């Protein structure tokens, strides 16, 4: 069973990295041109896809959400408490 799982994982990783590489805009590709990344991902199993996923593109950091400044509940809202 293991002899089927390892090649299947390699194929899945290669397909994922290849699709990610193709869909990445050219201005976000780092270090080498996009076409060379595609060749690297296809020709060198395991190393090519892992190299692409780790260093091939610029990863955007999601913006931090600022905490909402205001009452957290009715007991913290002075306008609500005044109306009681």
The pLDDT score that the predictor gives to residue 61 is 66
**49: which residues sit within 8 A by CB, 6+ positions away?**
13, 14, 16, 17, 18, 41
Q: Would you say residue 9 lies in a domain?
A: yes
Q: What is the pLDDT of residue 71?
A: 58
Whole-angstrom Cα distance, residue 79 to residue 14? 59
Q: Is 1 exposed, middle or buried (0-12, 13-18, 19+ CB in 10 A)?
A: exposed
- Whether 77 is covered by a domain: the verdict is no
Across the chain, mean pLDDT equals 85
- Is pLDDT of 60 > 80? no
- Residue 16 inside a domain? The answer is yes
Give the count of domains, the chain.
1
Q: Please check whether residue 36 lies inside any domain of the structure.
A: yes
Domain that includes residue 8, residue range: 2-56
Q: How far apart are CA 62 and CA 43, in angstroms?
A: 33
pLDDT digits (tens, 9 = 90+) for 24-52: 988 888 889 999 999 999 999 999 999 98
* Residue 12 scores a pLDDT above 90: yes
The answer to whether residue 74 is domain-embedded is no
Query: Is the full-model pTM beyond 0.85?
Result: no
Inside any domain, residue 35: yes
């Amino acid at each position: 069973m293991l002899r089927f799982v390892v090649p299947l994982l390699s194929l899945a990783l290669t397909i994922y990295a290849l699709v990610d590489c193709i869909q990445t805009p050219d201005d976000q590709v780092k270090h080498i041109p996009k076409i060379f990344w595609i060749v690297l991902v296809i020709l060198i199993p395991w190393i090519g896809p892992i190299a692409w996923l780790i260093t091939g593109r610029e990863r955007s950091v999601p913006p931090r959400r600022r905490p909402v400044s205001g009452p957290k509940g009715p007991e913290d809202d002075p306008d609500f408490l005044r109306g009681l």
